[in-house]
Structure 1
């Protein structure tokens, strides 16, 4: 006769540890979400730790458990944007201009879906804070330019320049998303507008 089935239970201490970790992850995520919204809305320089505490509804001790200062918060918001962007761009395998651009547009759409505020902040922050994420921003920009260079020989880029097209992308993509983000056709409108800005109309020349 088979032995009766037994139920394996996690030790109470393990269960408690999981709950603590989950709660801490939630607190950290809330700090980042609320901080990103504040930084975008008011400008990083004008947001205090006190405002972050109020927006995230946390105690000062909870904030300093995760971050030593506002700069660490800014870093934790922006670096994942470019890290994720690089991962998406590495998956772009098209070699024609339209396919390449659609892959780049899909990258921006994925970053927007993850956090509009974080993407906005990542594309607006520079100056003395650029060194916080330069090591990720530079390869992100270079990857986009390298992809666009593949489209140059076919004459499909409106300005015939990967460098110009990359600069236009960097300056226009997020503002265009901000125009359309409440529309149910958001992705399609973004893509068609950006194609019009960057692609030559009609068949390749």
Structure 2
């Protein structure tokens, strides 16, 4: 009895993975530029020089493709935000600001794509996004209790971050001094000055 398992040759697997990664890169760019409604699967297949069937073999729906682009970003966010809870409140808020810069440095298109998604379009990402927002609100709640939030309200502060961070990164992210500018501007908006 022959129980040998047939597997795809490594070269075929590599090509398949390379095609998948190319599709993900193109999808992140399209989502960042046009949002989920402006991203068309047919256009992605053409840009990736792939048959529509190949695209759909990797990602059976547009929602599955959006999930594949954004979920790793949210997972990194959760992982990076967890240790911030052990820091003093001001340093934890600074850590959140630094987290945005790190995510921008690693994957600006995926970060811009996540910004273009509205709550009603999160779909399968709603749960992981909600967990991350819970972490952010816990950090901002501690900052409020410490009296260091400029507006004094963690919910409003969270909305300010959600509204300003990505557009600000788009504005200064490519500059040589972008990290310094981004950090200084968000700190000025979010935090009361350190008393001397």
Question: What is the TM-score normalised by the length of structure 1?
Answer: 0.85
Q: Structure 2: 5+ residue runs without aligned partners?
A: 1-5
Q: Quick one: structure 1 residues 146 and 128, their matched pair in 2 at CA, closer, same or farther if it must change by over 3 Å?
A: closer
**Is 1:175 matched with 2:170?**
no
Query: Structure 2 CA distance, aligned partners of 1:104 and 1:168?
Result: 13
The alpha carbon displacement at 1:154 in A equals 2.5
Matches within 5 A, 1:1-205: 17-92=9-84, 93-97=86-90, 99-203=91-195
Query: Structure 2 CA distance, aligned partners of 1:45 and 1:165?
Result: 29
Larger Rg belongs to: 1
| Structure 1 consecutive aligned stretches of length 4 or more whose deviation exceeds 6 Å | none
Q: Quick one: structure 1 residues 181 and 203, their matched pair in 2 at CA, closer, same or farther if it must change by over 3 Å?
A: same
2:70, 2:110 within 8 Å by CA — same for their partners in 1? yes
The alpha carbon displacement at 1:127 in A equals 5.0
The SS at the match of 2:9 is: helix
Query: Structure 2 CA distance, aligned partners of 1:129 and 1:66?
Result: 21
Query: Structure 2 CA distance, aligned partners of 1:148 and 1:96?
Result: 8
Q: Quick one: structure 1 residues 127 and 106, their matched pair in 2 at CA, closer, same or farther if it must change by over 3 Å?
A: closer
The alpha carbon displacement at 1:56 in A equals 1.5
Provide Cα deviations, 1:30-71, integer angstroms capped at 9, x if missing partner.
101101211222332233222101222222232122111222
The SS at the match of 2:122 is: helix
Query: Structure 1 CA distance, aligned partners of 2:94 and 2:13?
Result: 39
Q: Structure 1: 5+ residue runs without aligned partners?
A: 1-12
Larger RCO: Structure 1 or Structure 2 (Cα < 8 Å, ≥ 6 residues apart)?
2
